[in-house]
Amino acid sequence: MRPCFGGRTLDQYEEIAAFLRQRLPLLPRIALVLGSALGSLAEAIEDPFVLRYEDIPGFLHATVASHKGELLCGRLGGQEVLCLSGRFHGYEGYAYEDLALPIRVLHLLGVRQLILTNAAGAIRPEWRPGEIMLLEDHIQLNGATPLRGPHLPEFGPRFFDVSQLYSQRLRDMAFECAEELGIPLRQGVYYFAPGPQFETPAEIRAMRILGGDCVGMSTVPEALAAAQVGMEVAAFSMLSNMAAGVVGNKVSGEEVDEVGGRTAPQLAALIEALLAKLGS
Ligand code: HPA
């Protein structure tokens, strides 16, 4: 029997890229992905050209309420940017292979730098909701990789290094920007949990022992797809809540959205400053 492979063919990725090349007014080299409750970051983009995901043939559709489902193209921090306002997750029912699609399309469009954002639960007890963490590294031990399937050499080697996935250069620049803006910035390890349920306190204790500083349900699949094609990656976690049980607490989706909405302007300022520095 022929095995049933997930993912897409190169032609399918190329078709989406060709459609976008015709429609987009600019072909920026920098892209942003906006996570849960961070959609308001898109409002800072000047003169945006907007395409709804469902109007892009072959693209994925955003199903999570706090994710808008729009591709924006415009200027932020003086730089031309593409912005995915709303992302895709395994817990929506997407195969992990599907999650490589937006990133591979961005690569075909010429994007070289990727800034990822997410909402995450703080595992470190001394951290607080509302703080921002820069990813130094991640842990993903459940096999949830978008890179399974037939190897397409156009998207990089099958076996590749991820020992420096989150760019030291971009992290240094982000810390400089944070200092200039007076925004406290944490740095740590993001533990990927598949969701959609939040974690049990015992799972959080295990993650802490394994070296996780915060926990979330996104970012890692995109970061892996980006690393394979050789993009320079930076990722920010907005700490929307204390992870389950860290301070004897429960976790709620409402808290994630409320704190995310409140913290989004700070993260937007930081990203805008980072983009301006990248262009200087
Ligand atoms: N766990 C997993 N994902 C999350 C959390 C959390 O506590 N907060 C925001 N996203």
Per-residue pLDDT tens over the stretch 90-140: 999 999 999 999 999 999 999 999 999 999 999 999 999 999 999 999 999
User: 84 CA to middle of ligand 1, Å?
Assistant: 20
Residue 222 above 80 pLDDT? yes
- Determine what percent of the chain falls in helix, strand and coil, rounding each to the nearest 5: 35, 25, 40
Query: What is the spatial distance between Cα 264 and Cα 42, in angstroms, rounded to a whole number?
Result: 10
Please state, for a pLDDT cut of 70, what percent of the chain lies above it: 96
Residue 3 above 60 pLDDT? no
DSSP assignment letter at 146: T
- Protein residue with its CA nearest to atom 10 in ligand 1: 120
User: 217 CA to middle of ligand 1, Å?
Assistant: 7
Mean pLDDT of 134-159: 93
Of ligand 1's atoms, which has the minimum distance to the CA of residue 242? 7
Q: All domains of the chain, ordered by start, with CATH?
A: 4-278 (3.40.50.1580)
Mean pLDDT of 77-97: 92
Ligand 1 proximity of 116 Cβ (cutoff 6 Å): no
Ligand 1 proximity of 243 Cβ (cutoff 6 Å): yes
Ligand 1 proximity of 215 Cβ (cutoff 6 Å): yes
Ligand 1 proximity of 64 Cβ (cutoff 6 Å): no
What pLDDT is attached to residue 1? 46
Of ligand 1's atoms, which has the minimum distance to the CA of residue 199? 1
Quote the mean pLDDT of the chain. 92
Q: State both tokens at 162.
A: 């991820």
Q: Mutate which of 127, 197, 198, 252 to test ligand 1's pocket (most atoms within 8 Å of Cβ)?
A: 198
Q: Mutate which of 191, 203, 236, 256 to test ligand 1's pocket (most atoms within 8 Å of Cβ)?
A: 256
Count CA within 13 A, CB hemisphere, residue 201: 7
Residue 256 above 90 pLDDT? no
- The backbone region for 149, taken as left when phi is positive above 0, alpha when psi lies in -120 to 50, beta otherwise, is left
Tens digits of residue pLDDT in 192-217: 999 999 999 999 999 999 999 999 99
DSSP per-residue string spanning 170-193: HHHHHHHHHHHHT--EEEEEEEE-
Contacting residues for 248 by C-beta, under 8 A, at least 6 apart: none
Question: At 122, which helix (H) or strand (E)?
Answer: strand 113-122
- Residue for token digits 């898109």? 42
Query: What is the spatial distance between Cα 15 and Cα 171, in angstroms, rounded to a whole number?
Result: 34
Ligand 1 proximity of 121 Cβ (cutoff 6 Å): yes
User: 223 CA to middle of ligand 1, Å?
Assistant: 18
Ligand 1 proximity of 99 Cβ (cutoff 6 Å): no
